[in-house]
Structure 1
């Protein structure tokens, strides 16, 4: 059984803080099953946007895991904002979480899939 998005985001933010990073929920979406987009900023100013992976990325043995793929990697915040606005117009129930990872990298915080 898949946990609610609200609980999953809460666990992610706590894990980031416990690891010396920073996390903030920029936009709260649907409590039960909203799609999650993660905006990651590193200390060098690079921004990466992660979104839900395609259905083909899910493992049949663990179908309830949340998987993500890298949608963008840039230093231009305007490009990321435009992409997120497009996603908001498509689905108003999305979650946007901004993370500055601490000692743990993004690949250890979230399950990443290659596009």
Structure 2
């Protein structure tokens, strides 16, 4: 099965979050077909998390949903997360960035194990 385009995935994920009452915005638009997707979760208590694409070795290729994420930073300062995002942008300027504001840290991502 072909992988869902990044623009469709981001749009669907934002809609899902909105339906569940989780405040989220698309902060950066990347390459429509295959841009990497990163998700920043601001916990509104002075800490933030950052999630990014899981390495291919952790993704089950037999799965219908092959978009899996890993925690890149957990309970870091929002400023430190922004520094990391800047580094990712210098490496890949076609990335997508979703920002979520949620005290409980909800993101609704499929995490690789």
Residues 20 and 102 in structure 1, CA contact (< 8 A), matched pair in contact too: no
Residues 19 and 102 in structure 1, CA contact (< 8 A), matched pair in contact too: no
**Counterpart in the other structure of 2:101:** 100
Query: For the structure 1 residues 81 and 105, does the alpha-carbon distance in structure 2 shift closer, same or farther, using more than 3 Å as the test?
Result: closer
Deviation at 1:104, TM superposition (A): 9.1
Query: For the structure 1 residues 80 and 6, does the alpha-carbon distance in structure 2 shift closer, same or farther, using more than 3 Å as the test?
Result: same
- Distance in 1 (CA, whole Å) between partners of 2:29 and 2:11 is 11
Residues 47 and 78 in structure 2, CA contact (< 8 A), matched pair in contact too: no
The normalised TM-score by structure 2 is 0.88
Where do residues 1-115 of structure 1 align in structure 2 (5 Å cutoff)? 1-62=2-63, 65-101=66-102, 105-106=106-107, 109-114=108-113
Number of aligned residue pairs: 112
Structure 2: gaps spanning 5 or more residues: none
- Distance in 1 (CA, whole Å) between partners of 2:77 and 2:67 is 27
Deviation at 1:61, TM superposition (A): 1.1
Structure 1: gaps spanning 5 or more residues: none
Q: What root-mean-square deviation, in Å, do the aligned CA atoms of Structure 1 and Structure 2 show? A: 2.0
Q: Deviations over 1:58-104 (max 9, x none)?
A: 11312751000000013412111110111000011000100134989
The normalised TM-score by structure 1 is 0.87
- Distance in 2 (CA, whole Å) between partners of 1:17 and 1:104 is 15
- Distance in 1 (CA, whole Å) between partners of 2:86 and 2:47 is 19
